[in-house]
Amino acid sequence: MQPVEVPQRKGSNKAKRGAARARHHDSRSPSSSPERSTSRRRRRSAKRRRTGRERGSHRRHHEDSDSDWTTDGEVLCTGSRGSTHPRSISGGAMAGWRDIVMQGVFSSVAPSTLKSYSAAQERFVAFTWGARGGALRPPSQEEVLRYLAHLRALGRAPRTTRHDLAAVVITIRRSKTDQRGPKKSVWICGHSIVHWAGKYAASSGWGRHLGLEDCLRIHWMGVRGMLWDSLLPLLVRQARRLGPPDALVIQLGENDLGKREGPDLQRAMCSDLVKLQGLFPQTALIWSDLLQRQVWRGARCPKKVDGIRQRVARALRRHVEETGGRFVAHWDISYRIAPLFSPDGVHLSSWGQDIWLQDLRDGLLGWCQQ
């Protein structure tokens, strides 16, 4: 059926558009010549061949350039007026660009995939830590093969095995990309003081790693209202998931004061610290001193509770130093200085958190230098 042309004024834009639509309709109608269809298919085939050659050339260029990331080289830089000129780039800068590229690769993976990879990596770390008493970073080829044999013995499907292997590989690449040197793992465990200090550090100028990113990787493990008896179960769970840390900072015990007798609490704390050294013999213990408070919840005599705190703190400091640990004091945090505390008299204000974080950073820096 031929299109009906509507009379238009000569030379008008509407007439031109109508004529163009009519020509397009004729070209797509079944009455099109076979020669035209054959020519169109040839053009498409030629375009696909050119695209394939370009992709192959790009892939070869990427492989050649990827083999020499750490060497000096030149790149073309564009000037303000569109001119290009070569610029020398050092090997360190080229390696830094590789980190950026790898971060882009990880960010392109779907969150659900990363979540499943993280769960698979946790299972792998739990297997290696349970087998050898410590997680390997990165694991050896023998460890990976042993884990694959373990999955096969469990009767896992090949698809699940491939997924777990991909999770191990991608998490190893991520750890290598994140690390620009030998970094040590530090856990900071405790009650709400640790919980709020970690949030404050991450949202302020301190940073999550307290400005020690070059040598430390800090994990904040603060649990609000945490008591002393919850410490060992928490550390065992985290160790099975992450592997034992290089250093462990503990800020805990204040919530138990006034609820337990001083000598009983002191014996329990010293006994658990000995157990920790047996569970994690390669982990350095850093004890953060018991903090003063303006308000001791549930206590009839706050002065008596503070006296118990002082005696327990002295005993813990002596025990930690005798067993080769480190001690972090907080001499500048006093209950007499009201601005250091929040209105409840228990938690620290932003000023108090700054002092606490500075004391902790000094202790960690001294441990790193040692």
Per-residue pLDDT band at 226 (split at 50, 70, 90):
very high
Kindly tell me if the per-residue pLDDT of 188 is higher than 80.
yes
Kindly tell me if the per-residue pLDDT of 69 is higher than 60.
no
Kindly tell me if the per-residue pLDDT of 215 is higher than 80.
yes
**Separation CA 3–CA 38 (nearest Å):** 25
Rounded percentage of the chain residues whose pLDDT exceeds 90: 38
Per-residue pLDDT band at 229 (split at 50, 70, 90):
very high
Kindly tell me if the per-residue pLDDT of 342 is higher than 50.
yes
> What's the pLDDT at 143?
75
> What's the pLDDT at 343?
93
> DSSP alpha helices (H): ranges in the chain?
13-28, 34-66, 91-107, 111-132, 141-153, 158-178, 192-203, 231-242, 262-279, 302-322, 350-369
> What's the pLDDT at 176?
46
> What's the pLDDT at 254?
93
Residue ranges and CATH numbers for the domains of the chain are 97-178 (no CATH), 184-369 (3.40.50.1110)
**Separation CA 209–CA 357 (nearest Å):** 11
> What's the pLDDT at 155?
85
**Stretch among 48-57, 111-120, 267-276, 308-317 having the lowest mean pLDDT:** 48-57
For residues 74 and 88, the answer to whether their CB atoms sit within 8 Å is: yes
**Stretch among 37-46, 63-72, 217-226 having the lowest mean pLDDT:** 63-72
Tell me the pLDDT tens digit for each residue of 115-172. Answer: 777 777 778 777 776 544 443 345 667 777 888 888 888 888 888 888 787 777 766 5
> What's the pLDDT at 66?
39
Tokens 């040197």 identify what position?
Answer: 181
Pull the structure tokens for residue 211.
């400005």
* Rounded mean pLDDT, 292-302: 85
Average pLDDT, the chain: 77
* Rounded mean pLDDT, 270-277: 93
CA angle 338, 342, 344 (to 5 degrees): 100
Q: Considering Cα of 125, then 127, then 133, then 138, what sign does the dihedral take?
A: negative
Kindly tell me if the per-residue pLDDT of 329 is higher than 90.
yes
- Check residue 230 and give left, alpha or beta (phi > 0: left; psi -120 to 50: alpha): alpha
* Rounded mean pLDDT, 315-320: 93
* Rounded mean pLDDT, 246-261: 92
Residue bearing the bigger pLDDT, 20 or 202: 202
* Rounded mean pLDDT, 207-232: 91
CA angle 309, 315, 320 (to 5 degrees): 120
**Stretch among 160-169, 224-233, 288-297, 344-353 having the lowest mean pLDDT:** 160-169
> What's the pLDDT at 92?
45
Kindly tell me if the per-residue pLDDT of 284 is higher than 80.
yes
For residues 127 and 144, the answer to whether their CB atoms sit within 8 Å is: no
Kindly tell me if the per-residue pLDDT of 299 is higher than 80.
no
